[in-house]
Amino acid sequence: MKNILVPVGTTESGINNLKYALNLASLNGGKVFLISVYEDESKIKDIANVNEFWINEKRQQLKDVMNGVNSEGVEIFTQSIKGNPFEEIKKISKKENIDLIVLSPQSIEIDDKVYLGTTTAKILKQTEIPLLIVPNGFLFRKFDSILFAFKNGHFKKENVLEPLKYMKKTFDSKINLLHVITPEATEESNIIDAELSSLKSSLTTTKNATTFQGVLEHFQSHNPDMLCVVRRKRGFFKKLWEKNLILKRDFHTSKPLLVLSGIQDK
C-alpha cells in the first residue's frame, strides 16, 4: 500500500476519500496521488473556451479538496488530466505503480436507491487495481474484523491477497473467511489455497446460488468492519455486469468494501 490513487468526483467525496487515503499512507510512509479527470469538449459547437473552463474548474476542485484535509507527513501529488476518465486512471495506475484506488460508492451521481453508481462501477470493471470503496462520511478506524467472501479459494494470479495481508499485518485484523459454494462449483474452486488458509481466524462454508447471496445471508451475523471480495465477472459482481450498477435493494453496506484484483472471467 505504498502508492494510493484518489480520483475526485465531487469535492465532498474527494475530501472524504483523501482523508482515508492519507490515514492509510501515513501508516507505512506511502504516497497519495490525487487526480481530477475531465474529457475533451473541443467538439462542442458554440461554446467558447470550454476546455479552459474545465481546466480551471478541475484545478480549483483539487485545491478545495486539499484545503479540506490535513496532509502533514504524507507526500501528495495532484494533477488535473484531460482524457477519458477510465483510460486515464488505468494509465496513471500503471505509470505510478498504484497499489490501491480509493473511491466512493457514488463518485458523481447521488441517488438514494443506488449503492454502487455507474462511475465507480465502470472503474471497478475496467481496472485490475485493488479498490477500497469507502461510504460517504465514513471515518477512518481500525479494522478489527474483515469478512472475505469468495467462491473460488484457488488463485492462479499472483499477489491477489496482498491487500488482505497488509490489513491483517497493519491492524492485527481477524480475517473471517466465507466460502460460498455455488451450483457451478468445481473441485478446484472448493480448494482453499494454503496462503489464504493461513490468514483465517474463522471459516464459514455456505451453499448459495451466488457469492452475492452468500454475503447477503451472512453479513449481519459476522458484522465486520470491512467486507472483502474478489473482482470476478461471474463472482460477487455478477449483478454489476448485468446492470452496470448495484441498487441498495439488492445489496449495500455501510462499511468499507475492499475489492481484490481477481481474474477477468472470459
| pLDDT tens-digit series, residues 28-59 | 899 999 999 877 655 554 455 666 776 788 88
The mean per-residue pLDDT over the stretch 180-185 comes to: 89
Q: Give the DSSP per-residue string, 223-263.
A: --SEEEEE--TTTTTHHHHHHSSEETTT---SS-EEEE---
Q: How far apart are CA 133 and CA 156, in angstroms?
A: 25
Cell of 225: 468492519
Q: Contact 140/167 with Cβ under 8 angstroms?
A: no
Position of cell 473441485?
A: 187
Decide if pLDDT at 125 tops 50: yes
Decide if pLDDT at 228 tops 70: yes
The mean per-residue pLDDT over the stretch 180-189 comes to: 87
pTM of structure: 0.88
Structural domains of the chain in order of their starting residue, each with its CATH number: 3-133 (3.40.50.620), 145-260 (3.40.50.620)
Q: Which residue has the higher pLDDT, 46 or 166?
A: 166
Q: How far apart are CA 137 and CA 52, in angstroms?
A: 32
> Confidence band (pLDDT; 50, 70, 90) for 241?
low
